[in-house]
Structure 1
């Protein structure tokens, strides 16, 4: 078994680890925000009060938040607590690339694109994880990860903006959170008929569902919606409108047997399908948004 396949399985196993329990998900200080602060020194004064620091007491506090999530109507704080948990699990399998310039740059681009969305008030966090797989992930609460394998295939900042826009759209539309909420309420109903189940157990099962769909797939309609909305968000931010389409076109040329693409094919429809659907949904609207920048030379080059 080659390295790419092992890495892919490690990420999938990390997400499946939520089935066992949630405590391990805070191994990297809770989630992407804390991992970035710890590993590369990126700080965010806006949300220091909501981010638990390292230590047993803070881990316990984080667990208390998870145990008391209101799945009937999750608050933003509930959403962030769940997203931190799922993101921390993914980072446990594939840590952030150790390149401060890269992480700061991707956060700058991602936050600018996110500022064009309906949820600009969220404290968004972005990161590039050390995996040769070609993929990107979003979790509730504004956490977005892109693999180094995908980043290395980008040729312009507009393409990066398109990829991040797609993941931002998932968070804006609460695609993952809605699936997790449905699972929690379903479990609660089943438990009522059979036996009592703790709120903590409900959350563990719901987070497990969120982790699995991050490692596997959402409904196709959610992916198509994210493609369309992500393209619009990138265009609003001033980028050339075809950035995401260019990435999809390039990925469509990669062999189906390439192991680095295996996880992408599990988590998203085939790039050809996405291109066709993007064209169908957007129609002439894409042409009307032309005039943005590609910013090829500004794309951060990995060390």
Structure 2
């Protein structure tokens, strides 16, 4: 089966110009949804195998923390706006490191650092970040960026189980620990907009991503913030764009009642002290 898949993919590459996705800002995804899921699963396994770099909190003993974050994620996923709601796995992981970051792999594996959770002021801020990361996965931005960064042939060899070394690099790239995955400016803008749309039907303020950026700006923490800021040093413009999107679709920007899964955000944060 691997040989057949390799031959078929080689045929695709022979009929589609590589420049089709490398010269265009948004890119073209040559992988199937099943390939996204397989690459995500392999990346998740690689991350799980490296607890020194990615100290994932086990679910056992941290049920309250995972339940809180799952409740938030479910509200976003059930907004009716997530295209691959039923196709991707949408599995949560909490990484116990004092890092201001979150990321998502192809296929819907979501990782949130405790450092980010403790840094944010409100549950709406975290919901905005979660919406942004879900959008990257759902819009297949991660797959497009990986194609640009590593090339289709290398990713194919990983899918076929022939390049475990590069798989470790991809895990680090997604997390921003090696060379942060470079999303296009359009991808970032789309993820910001989609976060607003996702949150518009939830209990959270739909511009949560904007208030998160505002906090980074106020604290002067942009340079140490999430990896998706590294190539876009003007989050103040993104604040304006996110708030404009909220105005355009007429969604609520009022802060939520801060009671997710019968727990306040402060109580949730305290779980990681």
TM-score where L is the length of structure 2: 0.69
| 1:275 and 2:239 matched | yes
Pick from 235, 258, 266 the counterpart of residue 296 of structure 1. 258
Q: How many residues align?
A: 230
Q: Which runs of 4+ in 1 moved over 6 A?
A: none
- Judge conservation of contact 1:180–1:207 (CA < 8 Å) in 2: no
Structure 1 equivalent of residue 119 of structure 2: 153
Structure 1 equivalent of residue 217 of structure 2: 252
| 1:231 and 2:196 matched | yes
- Judge conservation of contact 1:156–1:295 (CA < 8 Å) in 2: no
Q: Cα deviation per residue 1:152-178 (whole Å; 9 max; x = unaligned)?
A: 123333222211100010011100112
| 1:75 and 2:32 matched | yes
Q: Which moved more, 1:68-77 or 1:268-277?
A: 68-77
Pick from 202, 206, 218 the counterpart of residue 241 of structure 1. 206
- Judge conservation of contact 2:108–2:137 (CA < 8 Å) in 1: yes
| 1:103 and 2:103 matched | no
Q: Cα deviation per residue 1:119-142 (whole Å; 9 max; x = unaligned)?
A: 221331122211111011010111
SS in 1 for 2:92: strand
- Judge conservation of contact 2:206–2:251 (CA < 8 Å) in 1: yes
| 1:284 and 2:247 matched | yes
TM-score where L is the length of structure 1: 0.63
Give how far 1:201 is off. 4.5
Q: Measure, in 2, the Cα distance between the counterparts of 1:95 and 1:198.
A: 25
Point out where structure 1 has 5 or more consecutive residues left out of the alignment.
1-63, 192-196
**1:162-241 pair list within 5 angstroms:** 162-181=128-147, 183-185=150-152, 200-201=161-162, 205=166, 208=169, 211-215=172-176, 216=180, 217-241=182-206
Q: Measure, in 2, the Cα distance between the counterparts of 1:247 and 1:131.
A: 19
Going from structure 1 to structure 2, the CA distance change for 1:151 and 1:179 (only over 3 Å counts) comes to: same
Give how far 1:241 is off. 1.6
When the two chains are superposed, the root-mean-square deviation of aligned CA atoms in Å is 3.7
Q: Measure, in 2, the Cα distance between the counterparts of 1:210 and 1:96.
A: 14
